[in-house]
Amino acid sequence: MRKTMFAATAALTPTAAWAGDVMALPEDSGATAWMLASTALVLLMVPGLAMFYGGLVRTKNVLGTMMHSFAAMAIIGVLWPIVGYAMAFGPTQGGFVGWDSEKFLLSGIDTTWIPILDETRRIPEYVFAMFQGKFAIITPALIAGAFAERVRFGGYALFIALWSILVYNPLAHIVWGGGFLTGEAIDLAGGTVIHISAGVAGLVAAVYLGARHGYPRSAMHPNNLVMTLMGAGLLWVGWFGFNAGSQVSSGLATAQALTMTQIAASAGALSWMGLEAALHRKVSSLGMVSGILAGLVAITPAAGHVQPLGALALGFAASFVCYGAIALKNKLGYDDTLDVFGIHGAAGIFGAIGLTFFLRDTPEHGLATQLWFQVKGVLVAGGLSAVATLLLLVLVDKTVGLRLPHREELAGMDHALHGEHGYGLMNVN
Amino acid sequence: MKLLIAIIQPDKLDEVHEALVAAGITRITASRASGQGRAQEMELYRGTEVAASRMPKVRLEIALNDEFVQPCIDAIVRAARHGEGERGDGKIFVLPLERVVRISTGEEDRQGI
């Protein structure tokens, strides 16, 4: 997370690589407070995502879809302190994954501290570990949008548990935790680790599982766009913790990341509004929130390293990229239900590569080398996610089963899987 | 002409709709309803099974020319059943229909349906 290749020697994570005596640094209560707040803000994005996704599916699947996000809080929320943090931020084992028995069950970090970004002060390691844990939770929850309305709950639970261990933890280690891309690819808050990996996993899963019954011939209307808009609002607010918190400090760098986040989100929203006004003569609320997300995803890797003009450009262009990606999906005919690849994959790739052209400081090794580092990051994240996701899909599908049986898909997940219905308030009872 | 009112379980709505379309019946109205029939269903509430009262149902209204009445009934019965003789699958009522007017064109009766 705190990799800046401008301080390439200090590019490793606080815990993995800092050679100095952390206890000699003064405590930073300001950074601790902001990191605690950021941790809570990123967790708020998960129910935000549940509302965002939940509103977009059909009435019969609203609870099942929201449960995908909430289940990630339960499953990854347990796995992360047990093995996730040790795998992502332990000392590297060959560049691909970390491990540290001291971090297993977080047993060794009860009283430890880590330096903040500029290494002048220290914050408790717990707050860093928990902040990172929220990213681990939201990433598999993002994937669920690609196969919404057609998976078994048990199969989904097993899939995200395995995906977190075999894809997310190694990737977080490779890019942030001291693995082989640490200090090369610029990825402030997870353009590659989170959005590209989730987007590509979603694409692979959507193609592997096949389309929903009736897609694309029958209209499948969102059951509650009001809830989707509220969810998008929560995501936008939470994203300030996501990006600005990723600076692991409370100061100038935090303010820079927060500013770029705000600018890119607005630019993305405005750009999508313009696109729809020009092409359809109507600006839709779903288009508005799609633009917000496109801008936010694109600025995620870049927020600490570009200036307002760059944030405007990335946010503005991201909506065009995502709009095109979704149009292409409709041509190709695969059923990425809630456009996980169309938004997170496409804007993630665009932001990771596009940021090279708007950097605040030109790196010593030159822009061409940096561009190669960015492309390498995209290829590694996309490649690892694609291959491992496919293996896990086959494994889960052949053992416990992942695709919902036809009858249950028609009946809807809420009734078939959870024995509940989402909108009891519409019925006298 | 007949007006057919069917009360079915919500989870069978898509199956019934598809069966109707397959039988050539494409114009239907569906709405939410609540009711209590012979079924005594159990619901899960915070891990406890409780007896449900006035279960959510779907009410279909379909205006039919006479030759479509039996195919429509057959399609609904076939698609809305959860199993032979299981309680709670719903009911079908067939009522005489006096007059039909299509608002957009003013066509009446057979053409209006």
- Residue written as tokens 């100061």? A251
pLDDT digits (tens, 9 = 90+) for A123-142: 999 999 999 999 999 999 99
Q: Cα–Cα distance between A53 and B95 in angstroms, integer?
A: 42
3-state SS class at A243: helix
Extents of the domains making up chain A: 31-410
- Other Cβ atoms within 10 Å of A115 Cβ, number: 22
Half-sphere exposure of A7 (CA within 13 A, CB side): 13
pLDDT of residue A14 exceeding 70: no
For tokens 């347990």, name the residue: A78
Q: Could you tell me how many residues make up chain B?
A: 113
**Which of A412, A419, A427 is opposite residue B34, by nearest beta carbon?**
A427
- CA within 13 Å, CB half, A244: 26
Taking residues A32-53, report their average pLDDT: 98
A7 pLDDT band (50/70/90 cuts)? Answer: very low
The reported pLDDT for the residue numbered B53 is: 72
| Residue (of A155, A156, A132) closest to A69 by Cα position | A156
pLDDT at A221 over 50: yes
Q: Which domain holds residue B25?
A: 2-112
Q: Do the beta carbons of residue A18 and residue A115 sit within 8 Å?
A: yes
Q: What is the pLDDT of residues A79-127, one digit of tens each?
A: 999 999 999 999 999 999 999 999 999 999 999 999 999 999 999 999 9
pLDDT bracket for residue B86 (50, 70, 90)? confident
pLDDT for res A3: 41
Diameter of chain B measured on Cα atoms: 55
State both tokens at A179: 């693995």
Label residues A174-213 b or e (16+ Cβ within 10 Å = b): bbbbbbebbbbbbbbbbbbbbbbbbbbbbbbbbbbbebbe
Burial class (CB in 10 A: 0-12, 13-18, 19+), A321: buried
Mean pLDDT of A406-428: 88
Q: Which two tokens stand for residue A108?
A: 């060794």
Yes or no: say if A76 and A140 are a contact pair by the CB < 8 Å rule. Answer: yes
User: What was the pLDDT predicted at A231?
Assistant: 98
Residue B101 to residue A429: CA distance in whole angstroms: 35
Q: How far is Cα A186 from Cα A193, in angstroms, rounded to an integer?
A: 11
Selected residue with higher pLDDT from A17 and B32:
B32
Helices vs. strands in chain B: H and E counts, helices first:
3, 6
Reported as a pLDDT band with limits 50, 70 and 90, residue B36 is confident
Confidence of residue A16 (pLDDT cuts 50, 70, 90): very low
For A404, which DSSP code? P
Distance of alpha carbon B69 from the chain centroid: 13
Chain A residues closer than 8 Å to B44 by CB: 419-420
Prediction pTM value: 0.92
Separation of alpha carbons A39 and A387, rounded Å: 31
β-strand B90-96 against A122-124: which pairing, if any?
unpaired
Residue A17 pLDDT level (bands cut at 50, 70, 90): low
Contact list, B12 vs chain A (CB under 8 Å): 411
* pLDDT value of position A297: 98
DSSP A319: H
The answer, yes or no, to whether residue A427 has pLDDT greater than 80, is no
Sign of CA dihedral A275, A277, A279, A285: positive
Here the CATH number for the domain that contains residue B94 is 3.30.70.120
SS3 assignment, position A295 = helix
Using H for helix, E for strand and C for coil, what is the string for A82-105? Answer: HHHHHHHHCCEECCCEECCCCCHH
Question: What is the band of A425 on the pLDDT scale with cuts at 50, 70, 90?
Answer: low
Instruction: Provide the percentage of residues in chain A whose pLDDT is more than 90.
Output: 92
Cα gap A193→A179, rounded to integer Å: 12
pLDDT at residue A424, rounded to an integer: 75
- State the nearest Cα–Cα gap between A65 and chain B, in angstroms: 17
Q: Which of B4, B31, B3, B18 is nearest to B80 (CA)?
A: B18
**Any idea which residue has 């996000």 for tokens?**
A69
Give the nearest chain A residue to B44 (CA atoms): A419
Q: What's the pLDDT tens digit per position in B7-16?
A: 999 999 999 9
User: Does residue A26 belong to the interface with chain B, where contact is any CB pair within 8 Å?
Assistant: no
Cβ contact A419–B53 (<8 Å)? no
Check whether A340 has a pLDDT greater than 50: yes
Cβ-nearest to B32 among A410, A416, A426: A426
Q: Which two tokens stand for residue A375?
A: 């492309």
H-helix or E-strand containing B8? strand B2-8
Sign of CA dihedral A330, A332, A337, A343: negative
Average pLDDT over residues A245-264: 97
SS3 B59: strand
Structure tokens at A110: 């009860």
Mean pLDDT of A179-191: 94
Q: Which of A7-16, A347-356, B40-49 is modeled with the greatest confidence?
A: A347-356
Contact A218/B at CB under 8 A: no
With vertex at residue A66, the alpha carbon angle to CA A337 and CA A162, rounded to the nearest 5 degrees, is 80
| Mean pLDDT of the region A267-296 | 97
A27 SS3 class: strand
Scanning A84-143 for CB atoms below 8 A from B yields none
In this prediction, residues A356-372 reach a mean pLDDT of 95
Length reported for chain A: 429
With a cut of 90, say whether residue A196 has pLDDT above it.
yes
CB-based contact (8 Å) between A9 and chain B?
Answer: no
CA distances for B27 relative to A21, B18, B72, angstroms: 76, 12, 12
Tally of domains in chain B = 1
pLDDT at residue A9 above 50? Answer: no
Q: Which residue of A has its CA nearest to B33?
A: A427
3-state secondary structure of B100: coil
Region A295-324 average pLDDT: 98
CB A218 within 8 A of CB A266: no
Contacts of A106 (CB under 8 A, 6+ apart): A81, A85, A126, A129
Q: What residues does B6 pair with on adjacent strands?
A: B60, B92
CB B93 within 8 A of CB B5: yes
Q: Which residues of A touch B55 (CB under 8 A)?
A: 429
Give the ipTM. 0.80
CATH superfamily placement of domain A31-410: Ammonium transporter AmtB like domains (1.10.3430.10)
Q: Is residue A65 pLDDT above 90, yes or no?
A: yes
Per mean pLDDT, which range of A131-140, B36-45, B49-58 is the poorest?
A: B36-45
Comparing A9 with B102, the larger pLDDT belongs to B102
